[in-house]
């Protein structure tokens, strides 16, 4: 498996000037054109990791759970547009609160950036959309899970996403230092190792608390690659996680 290399610099967001401006100003606009303050957007490190993976793997169908202000969606769509010059790609996002909590801010910037032609959005709970996509035989090469961070919701997202992943497809979990997400990641590592394997990415991060956290196994993002279909038997032992 190829190890992705990630070197950070200030110009890392040049690939999407709109995203760079939003992050620099800490502001975006809502569906009525009002300026609003951003919060809870994926870190620049996360956005860089997603971008690196898209450049390396060139997935045609991508999925994200948790759209919010559209930070990760802008990064994903801009990078997909760059690698698929024929524009034969589709990015799907799921978020039940886009119009209520996020005031249609993501939809607005994605449309203004003319990225909406290759974008599909479901304003519903991921737990309801994902099984529908399975029934419709959809497959994805890269999935970013950044929706509800409750253990049960992350677990349900993981459970369905594995079934939606193409073979050799990638799933990225955000906020893995969060106990809920960490627990799901540990379940995967201890019980799903024949189906998902950790995907290596070299990410130089020299801050002391992060070095300690990484050593303890709490990384900001965890990336897995699908290496097999689920062949677990109903009586298989549950390994501690």
Q: What does the alpha-carbon distance between residue 209 and residue 218 come to, in Å, rounded to a whole number?
A: 11
126 interacts with ligand SAM by CB under 6 A:
yes
Residues in the chain: 241
Within 31-50, which residues bind ligand SAM (CB under 6 A)?
A: 40-42
SS3 sequence, the chain? CCCEECCCCHHHHCCCHHHHHHHHHCEEECCCCCEEECCCCCCHHHHHHHHHHHHHHCCCEEEEECCCCCHHHHHHHHHHHHHCCCCCCEEEEECCCCCCCCCCHHHHHHHHCCCHHHEEEECCCHHHHHHHHHHCCCCEEEEEECCCCCHHHHHHHHHHHHHHEEEEEEEEECCCCCHHHHHHHHHHHHHCCCCEEECCEECCCCCHHHHHHHHCCCCCCEEEEECCCCCCCCCCCCCCC
From 10-18, 29-37, 69-77, 217-225, span contacting ligand SAM (CB under 6 A): 69-77
Minimum distance of ligand SAM from residue 35's CB (angstroms): 17
Minimum distance of ligand SAM from residue 59's CB (angstroms): 17
Among positions 153, 172, 219, 224, the unique one binding ligand SAM when judged by CB under 6 A: 153
Q: Quick one: 62 or 148, whose CB is closer to ligand SAM?
A: 148
185 interacts with ligand SAM by CB under 6 A:
no
Minimum distance of ligand SAM from residue 65's CB (angstroms): 5
Q: What does the alpha-carbon distance between residue 121 and residue 64 come to, in Å, rounded to a whole number?
A: 10
95 interacts with ligand SAM by CB under 6 A:
yes
222 interacts with ligand SAM by CB under 6 A:
no
From 88-96, 111-119, 133-141, 214-222, span contacting ligand SAM (CB under 6 A): 88-96
78 interacts with ligand SAM by CB under 6 A:
no
From 3-11, 64-72, 77-85, 206-214, span contacting ligand SAM (CB under 6 A): 64-72
72 interacts with ligand SAM by CB under 6 A:
yes
First to last CA, the chain: 26
Count, residues near ligand SAM per rule CB under 6 A:
23
159 interacts with ligand SAM by CB under 6 A:
no
The residue ranges that bind ligand SAM (CB under 6 A) are 40-42, 65-72, 94-97, 101-102, 125-126, 146-148, 153
């Amino acid at each position: 498996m190829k190890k992705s290399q990630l070197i950070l610099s200030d110009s890392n967001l040049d690939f999407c000037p709109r995203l760079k401006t939003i992050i620099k100003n800490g502001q975006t606009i809502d569906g009525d054109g009002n300026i609003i303050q951003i919060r809870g957007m994926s870190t620049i490190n996360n956005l860089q990791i997603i971008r690196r993976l898209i450049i390396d793997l060139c997935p045609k169908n991508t999925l994200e759970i948790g759209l919010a202000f559209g930070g990760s969606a802008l990064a994903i769509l801009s990078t997909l547009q760059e690698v698929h010059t024929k524009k034969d790609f589709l990015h799907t996002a799921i978020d039940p609160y886009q119009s209520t909590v996020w005031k249609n801010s993501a939809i607005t910037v994605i449309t203004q950036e003319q990225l909406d032609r290759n974008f599909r959005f479901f304003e519903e709970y991921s737990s309801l959309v994902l099984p529908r996509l399975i029934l419709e035989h959809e497959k994805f090469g890269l999935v970013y899970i950044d929706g509800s961070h409750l253990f049960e919701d992350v677990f349900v997202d993981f459970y369905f996403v594995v079934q939606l992943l193409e073979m050799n497809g990638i799933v990225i979990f955000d906020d893995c230092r969060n106990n809920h997400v960490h627990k799901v990641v540990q379940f995967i590592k201890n019980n799903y190792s024949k189906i998902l394997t950790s995907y290596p990415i070299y990410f130089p991060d020299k801050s002391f608390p992060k070095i300690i956290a990484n050593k303890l196994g709490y990384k900001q993002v965890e990336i897995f690659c699908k290496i097999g279909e689920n062949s677990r038997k109903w009586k298989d032992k549950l390994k501690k996680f």
